[in-house]
Amino acid sequence: MGSVVDSSNKANGSALANKKVTVIFVLGGPGSGKGTQCANIVQHFGYTHLSAGDLLRAEMKSGSENGEMIQNMIKEGKIVPSEVTIKLLEKAMLDNGNDKFLIDGFPRNEENRAAFEAVTGIEPEFVLFFDCSEEEMQKRLLGRNQGREDDNIETIKKRFKVYMESSLPVIEYYNAKGKVRKIDAAKPVEEVFEAVKACFTPVAAS
């Protein structure tokens, strides 16, 4: 694809270069249960959970100029520019005392992925991919009623389309490197977590 990061210019000026961190990307469509499982992983394996969406929403509420731009893009179901999200993730990792991070809902596309690796010099340990049918995800999103303005049927359909077009190439990229751990996310929460635990146990033991 021509987007391979040149290792010689990795981590150009990233403060994260001096902090040895383990990163696991958590990917899956909207409503695939990423947040629930991340909470379980945090509890059992001591990771810090960074949700790209939560960081962006917090930035929106902060009233910064970036916040307004982010709000407009999310309303349109569009993807926020990589550098904005990466800056928020970098800051969150540097401000945190932990060295093990779950990054949930990012990278959203190939450009995000290449930019993250180029800016931070970090490749994920592995990618946890929650595989779930569109019908099941839609049912969950409409049923959860968390009061999020992006949980209406129109925006949900936009989010599915963006996810399918943008995120799947990222999963394919890491899959080719043998870094994807695929989870059947349509099963009950407890069963899903049993599968998740199996992915983490070798990492936790190393």
For 44-64, the DSSP string reads HH-PEEEEHHHHHHHHHHTT-
The DSSP call for residue 17 is G
Residue 77 burial (10 A CB sphere; 0-12, 13-18, 19+): middle
For each of the chain's 206 residues, which pLDDT tens digit applies? 333 333 333 444 567 767 789 999 999 888 788 888 999 999 999 999 999 888 999 999 998 888 989 988 888 878 788 999 999 999 999 999 899 999 998 998 999 999 999 999 999 999 999 988 778 777 877 776 555 656 677 777 777 787 778 888 999 999 999 999 999 998 988 999 999 999 988 654 44
Asked whether residue 148 is marked as a ligand-binding residue, the answer is yes
Asked whether residue 13 is marked as a ligand-binding residue, the answer is no
CB 89 within 8 A of CB 16: no
Asked whether residue 78 is marked as a ligand-binding residue, the answer is yes
Q: Which helix (H) or strand (E) holds 138?
A: helix 134-144
Asked whether residue 51 is marked as a ligand-binding residue, the answer is no
* Whole-number pLDDT of residue 135: 80
* Whole-number pLDDT of residue 147: 55
Q: Which domains does the chain have, with CATH numbers?
A: 20-205 (3.40.50.300)
CB 200 within 8 A of CB 183: no
For 9, phi and psi rounded to 5 degrees? -110, 20
Asked whether residue 64 is marked as a ligand-binding residue, the answer is no
- Angstrom CA distances, 68 to 44, 58, 60, 72, stand at 36, 11, 6, 6
pTM of the model: 0.79
Asked whether residue 181 is marked as a ligand-binding residue, the answer is no
